[in-house]
Each structure stands twice: as C-alpha cells, then as structure tokens.
Chains A and B, each alone.
Chain A
Amino acid sequence: MLDLTWLLIAVPLASSAFLLLGGKRLDPWGHWVGVAASGTAFLVGLVALIQMLGLDSHDRAHAVHLFSWIPGGELNLDAGLLVDPLSMTFVMLVTFVGTLIHLYSVAYMEHDPSRRRFFAYLNLFVAAMLLLVLADSYLLLFVGWEGVGLASYLLIGFWNHKPEYATAANKAFVVNRIGDMGLIIAMGLMFTYFGALDFDSVFAAAEGASTAQLTAIGLALLVAACGKSAQFPLQSWLGDAMAGPTPVSALIHAATMVTAGVYLIVRSAPIYEGAPAAQTTVAAIGAFTLILGALIGMAKDDIKKALAASTMSQIGYMVLAAGLGPIGYAFAIFHLVTHGFFKAGMFLGAGSVMHGMNDQVDMRRFGALRTAMVTTWVTFGLGWLAILGVPPFSGFWSKDKIIEAAFVGEGAQPWILGGAALIGAGLTAFYMSRLFFMTFHGKARWTDDQHPHESPALMTVPMIILAVGSAFLGLFLAMGDRFTMWLEPVTGHAEHHEPVLPVAVIMIATLALVALGVWAAWRKYGVADVPELAPAASLATIAARNDMFQDSVNRGVFERPGTHLTRTLVYADAALVDSAVDKTAGGWARTGESVRKTQNGQVRSYALTMLVGLVIVILVVVQGGL
C-alpha cells in the first residue's frame, strides 16, 4: 500500500480536473465527487498508516519512485515520494480534517452558484498539499508549495466579484511570492553547494558543509517558511485572507497550508543542525510572532480576523519549537496536529455562527448565542479549552511542552524565549476568552434582521468530530510519549534537558496566567456590557486593531523606496540604454537614407549599376584567373 501513496495526490487532482472541466452539468452532484475524492485520499492514507504502524520504527521511511523527472547534466532528479512518519502525520491531518471540511462545505456553500468550482479548488488544494508533504526533494516540494499557493489564491478570491476580496487574494499571492523567492534561493544554494535537491543527498551533504553555507540556506528556508506560515515580517496577508469562504479559512489558513512553513523547517532539520545562528533566528521569529499575533488578536472585533491572528500566534509557537532543535521538533508537529483540529473546529464554529447570523462577522453584534446554537457553543467551547491549554484538553499536551522546551538552554535565551511563550499563553487565554464570551455569552446585541439558528447536521457533525479531536487527541497522542516516539525516526532522538526552571513551576505559572487571562476576559466581556461599536481606545489598541500598522510599514519601508528605485531605473534605462539604442538605430537610419538615394527608380540607372558590376566581375576574374 505504501507504494500506492501516489494515489493520495492523483485522486484529488483528477477529481479537481474533472470538476473544473466537467462544466455546469456537474453542478447538481459535483460536490459529492469532491468529497469522495478527499475521502478516498483519507482511506488510502489510513491504510498506509496502519501498514506503517506494523513496521519497525526504523523501517518506516519508505521511498516511492515515481519517474525520472529532470534527467540532465549535473542535476539528476527523480520525482518520488517520501513516506515516513512525518509526512504520514501530515497526510492524516490533511485528509481527515480536509474530508470533514469538504463535508461541512457541502452545506455551507449550498446556496453558492459556483459550489462545484469551490470543490474543484479544494481538491486541488488537497492534492497540492499532499504533494508538498510527500515530496522527496525540495524541487517537488516546491511544486506542491506553489500548488497550495495557487489554491489559496483561488479560494481567497473565490468571491472575486468583490474588489476587496480580489485584492486580498492578490495580496496573499504577492506576499507569498517573497517566501517562494526564499525557497528558490535556498534551492539555488543547495544546488551550488551540494549539487543536489533531493532530501537524501542534501542532508547527507549537509553533514560536511560549512556553517556559513548552512546558515545561508537555513535563512533562505526561513524566509520561505515565514511567507507561507504568515510569520513576521511576512504576516500581513493572513488577516486579509479571511476574505475567502470560512471552510477555506479553516482548512487552508488554519489547519494545513499555513503550517507548511513549520513542516519545511522540521523537514530541513539536518540543515538547521549545522547552523545554530539560523536556528536561533527561527526561534526568535517564532517568539516575536506569537506575541505579535496575540496582541493583534486582542483587539480584533471581526471573529475571523481574531481567529486568524490567533493562528498566526499559534504558528509562532510551532516555529519557536522548531527553532529549538531536536527537543522542539516533535512538539512543533504535535502542536501543529492538535492546532489543526481545534483551530479548524473553531473556524467551522465561526462559520456556523456566521451561517446563523446572516454572514455577520462583527463580534460586537453577537452575544448570548449559547442558547440559540448549542452544538456550536459546545464544540467551540471545547476548541477554546484546547487552545487555552487547559488540562486535559489537546492544547495542554502540546503547548505546555513547547513552553517547557523554550525554557531549556543557556544564558539569556531560555528566559527570553520561555518568557515570550509564557506571556503568549496568558495573552492567548485573554483574547480567545474574549472571542468566546463576546460571541456566546453576555447580552444579545443582534441586529433586527438576525434570527440565530443552529446549522444543519452536515455542518455540525464535522464540528463535533473535530471537537472530540480537540478534546482527546492530545491526551491520546501524549500518553506514553506516543507521538514523540512515532516521529523519532525523522526528528531524531532528543537528549533530555532540564529547563532552567522546574517543570512544575512552569506548568503552574502557565496555568495561572491562563486563568488570569480568562478571568480578565470574563470580567470585561462576559459580565460587563460590550458596546456595539468599538469604543475609542488607547494608542496600543488602535495599533493592534490596525494589525500593528503592518501595511503602512510595508508601504513605507518597501513599496515607496521600491517605487522610487524602479522609477530611477526606468529613467536610467531611458537615458542610457534606450538612447544608446536609439542613437545607433538613428545612425543606421541615416546611413540607409543616404544609400537610398541611389535607388532613384530609374531603370537605366539600375542597368548601369548592373553593367558596372559586370565589368568589375570580369576584371576580377581576368586579373585573378587568366
């Protein structure tokens, strides 16, 4: 079965092509094809997983050779799949959550005229994401990387008849290009230094490479990861990406695609092993982003944007863990999986709320929905408990470990990283509780035309399944270090290090901060009245509401100088290159003009020229030959 893993990619891809090419006649039932394709991929993945579990842990990496892709000269590259515990984890996450979201979308997109196109894009995304995680070389990974970027672009701009949505899609695409540039540069460096792009050769060569080389590659890969995972400074696209339909936000912009950067870093572990500077940068970026995301999340009133900020922050945790080295890799992936469940579940819950509230996204117009939408309230609540890290829910098992790991190290580093992770936990508790209380508790602040109602079963069932996952998956995987052992063949065995603070202290501090955050949120948004319009606020709040002025900063730091630079270049081009070309051309034109005068149109002149030529030819022949 492991050799048939190519089906994982082929089935959704074929389904996507079928749906896109099939035309309107597929409209009545096309979405079920999409669901079936995703489900098939899940089943294939499940069988492969079971088969893999039956193998010894060191036999679990399985290479699938597909075909010779780039056979030429110095670069010989085969297209192949690498099926190992890490990629298998992603396969399960993507196909399972993906299938649930497919199901959910059948109901959510029911009234959309282009539902078939939506499912085609979703299938395309699943195929590309699986190609990304299954690829056995950076180049094939890049194909998947671009594929998910394309699918993300198409789905953010799915309602592209609204100009701002189309702009959001463009923004995501452009910012992702910067990250893609990083990946391309990284591949170029690998090819220059190692002459190879497949994982095996690159990692083998990385053992003997210099620190400077590995640092350069590592930083380039970090740029790529930042672009795809919305880490600072390339985070600006994620909030706007919420323009897409909510299932898209759940699948692509919360559970799977945005975690591709974490996957890339964990997969490239052998490179980061030899580049401590790059590794520290990764951790620093992660720590910074988790605080930044949390701060933004505290001020957002748009439920989806608040969740997006939370996603950014949670991925910050994962990147931080990935930057800690072997002790963090497994926890990064662990948190990625649990986050995939609870965040997807919460997004679906948000979608359910919007479904019942006429697509209202402003939390200030929600409130007291717990009675109207019980299922949504419970499932969302489980996700909320999970993200808070309350034991024994999933988030506790993964996030707490990350915070612990962040405190491991020497010098100031553990105090900074660990402190950031710890504060982040408290901030997370505050903004997620704020979101939860504003939406489901307090007084009803609905507009007159809103009549909240529970969503159909097709939507609630996936939410329930994800909520169950949010609740118990962490416990299940953490028991006996199951998940860490499972990933050990890929991430390597981590030596146990003691944190600078006792584990118990860290855990109690975390839980205390979480409790403090929840209490503060309850006081302000659960008990007190929430104004229906955002009140005037401090400078810090305004900054957070505006995403820390990220767009203005980008405009001032990159766009303006860039514009001036291009203008200067255009001017220089016109003044130097163009004029040189023009002058040369003008010179030839004048030469032609003077030669043209010999073409006076007189037949006899031409005859004369011919005769003169004849005489010259005879002269040459006679002088030379006779």
Chain B
Amino acid sequence: MDPINFVILASVLFAIGAAAVLLRRNAIIAFMGVELMLNAANLALVAFSRIHGEIDGQIMAFFVLVVAAAEVVVGLAIIIAVFRARQTISLDEPAELKG
C-alpha cells in the first residue's frame, strides 16, 4: 500500500486537531488538539521521508518533537498560571484581548 495513504491519515488527524482547538473550551483539551496537529505533521514528514527514501524527513520530525516538548512545558505552565489567577481553565474566560 502506498505510503501516501499515511499523508491522508495525517490530514484527517490534523483536521480533527484543528476542530478540537476551535470547539473545546477546556484549555487542556484544546492544547491536546494542538499536540495532535503537530503529530499529524510529524506523520506526514515521516511518510514523505519514506516516499523519497531520504532520512532527513525523520530528522525534521525529531526536531518537531523536541520543539513540541518545549512548547508543552511552557504551555502547561501558562495554563497553571492562569488557573491560579482565575480558578478556571476555560478559554472563554480570559476575554481581555477584546478590542
């Protein structure tokens, strides 16, 4: 079976992740949606690596992984800080970005 199918799978996962970010108000769940999108991109990278027979795609995926790990650390720290200040992690609560 053609490895391109994995790219299609990655697209579907990406769309699901994006929908989660848009629809869920729980910050942690929305954040998991972001993680899913990152991983979908990783899957696509690995699939491309396989298709082209080049290992560099995997390296890219590895880098994305590291960056994602760093992002998780900071993101979760922010969520905790917000929770301390407001006793909630709802994304609708902090509406100070209002114009």
Which residues of A are at the interface with B, using a C-beta cutoff of 8 A? Answer: 596, 598-604, 606-608, 611
Contact = CB atoms under 8 A, between A and B. Distances in A.
A594 to B, nearest CB: 11
Contact of A603 (B18, B23, B97, B99): B97
A611 B18 contact: yes
A607 B21 contact: yes
B73 interface: no
A600 B95 contact: yes
Interface residues of B, number: 14
Contacts of A604: 21-23, 25, 30, 91-92
Contacts of B91: 602-604
B8 to A, nearest CB: 16
Contacts of B92: 602, 604
B3 interface: no
Interface in B58-93: 91-92
B52 interface: no
B59 to A, nearest CB: 26
Nearest to B34: A607
Nearest to B92: A602
Nearest to A606: B97
8 closest A-B pairs by CB: A599-B99, A601-B98, A601-B95, A596-B99, A601-B97, A603-B91, A608-B22, A607-B21
A611 B22 CA distance: 9
24 contacts: A598-B99, A599-B97, A601-B94, A601-B96, A601-B97, A601-B98, A601-B99, A602-B91, A602-B92, A602-B95, A602-B97, A603-B91, A603-B94, A603-B97, A604-B21, A604-B23, A604-B25, A604-B30, A604-B91, A604-B92, A606-B97, A607-B22, A608-B22, A611-B18
B24 to A, nearest CB: 8
Given A601-B97, A602-B97, 16 more contacts: A596-B99, A600-B98, A600-B99, A601-B94, A601-B95, A601-B98, A601-B99, A602-B92, A603-B91, A604-B21, A604-B22, A604-B23, A604-B92, A606-B97, A607-B22, A611-B18
A611 B16 CA distance: 13
Contacts of A611: 18, 22
Nearest to A597: B99
Contacts of A608: 22
Given A604-B91, A611-B18, A599 B25 contact: no
A599 B99 CA distance: 5
Contacts of B98: 599-601
Nearest to A614: B18
A328 B60 CA distance: 99
Interface string B37-72: 000000000000000000000000000000000000
A602 B24 CA distance: 12
Nearest to A592: B99
Q: Which of B23, B94, B98 has the most CB of A within 10 A?
A: B98
Contacts of A602: 91-92, 95, 97
Nearest to A593: B99
A603 B22 CA distance: 9
A18 B98 CA distance: 62
Nearest to B27: A603
A606 B25 CA distance: 13
Nearest to B95: A601
